[in-house]
Amino acid sequence: MANKVIIASDSTCDLSPELVAKYNIQILPLGVNFGDKKFTDGVDIDPEYIYKRYEETKELPKTSAANLDEYISFFKKYTDEGYDLVMFTISSEMSSTYNNGRLAAEEVGNVYVVDSRNLSTGSGLLVLNAAELALDGYCAEDIANMSREKAAYVDASFVIDSLEFLHKGGRCSGLAAFGANLLSLKPCINVKCGKMGVGKKYRGKYEVTLTQYIKERLSNMDDIDTKRVFVTHAGCSDDIVKKCVDTVKACGKFDEILVTRAGCTVSSHCGRNTLGVLFIRKSEVI
């Protein structure tokens, strides 16, 4: 008889506390560091602290992966109780989190680490799907294998209001940031093949560009798994979020429209007023 299965993820999956509790998902928080001062994502630091500190000091944090010892301790809490564990991580192209988890899993045993090839609720979609597979009685190894295949179908993107955080964090040039601000450009960041890249650049007021972005993203509903869609944002106003949810509803019928707030990793890289719609397609995202 197969062991019972626990589904876990690092904190970059950006699932709300309500979803974490509903599906009994175990979260391994990553580190967020301001100089020598170390914080734990979602435990003693949140995005609003990052924004406030940046406004006061123009300093952005460095995010850090869970190390080997942290992973081993986390895994053994469950494997010592007789569970098998399926562990999801942020894309291996973006962090050493996956590789550290893989090494720890080899040492502990009965742990299957899945490279989500994504971040934020792009990973979260895979985590929820895995939790449902566990409830249906699938074993950990099968869940991990199906999740790795499913990763290629996740459609994840965000529209950024300002390039300030990306520029400050060294992820875009000063000239590009200046040009975008001068022209009121709002770039769309796409996740493909585990990497972030700049897609279409929208122009105009942020609220207007978001409506255009959502309509374009959901224009081919025949290719979309309508089970669930995330509207994930980093500090957008309630009014903007509501308008975006209404736009999603107008594009097609989803069984679930889940609104979540991005955690410290996405927030520290992209800044306030970042919003994306994330879902699973029926065909691979190329």
CATH of the domain at 261: 3.30.1180.10
CATH of residue 18: 3.40.50.10170
Number of structural domains found in the chain: 2
Counting every residue written for the chain, the total comes to 286
Q: What is the DSSP string of 31-99?
A: EEEETTEEEEBTTTB-HHHHHHHHHHH----EEE---HHHHHHHHHHHHTTT-EEEEEES-TTT-SHHH
Residue 29 has what DSSP assignment? Answer: P
Q: Are residues 142 and 171 in the same domain?
A: no
Q: Are residues 27 and 131 in the same domain?
A: yes
pLDDT in tens, 158-200: 999 877 666 554 444 333 433 445 446 888 889 988 988 888 8
Q: Are residues 163 and 263 in the same domain?
A: yes
Q: Are residues 34 and 146 in the same domain?
A: yes
Asked whether residue 286 is assigned to any structural domain, the reply reads no
Classify the C-alpha dihedral 221-224-226-228 as positive or negative.
negative
Domain span at 69: 5-151
Picking from 127, 151, 175, the residue at the C-terminal end of a domain is 151
Q: Are residues 114 and 198 in the same domain?
A: no
pLDDT in tens, 213-262: 999 999 999 999 999 999 999 989 999 999 999 999 999 999 999 999 99
Asked whether residue 85 is assigned to any structural domain, the reply reads yes
Quote the pTM value.
0.93
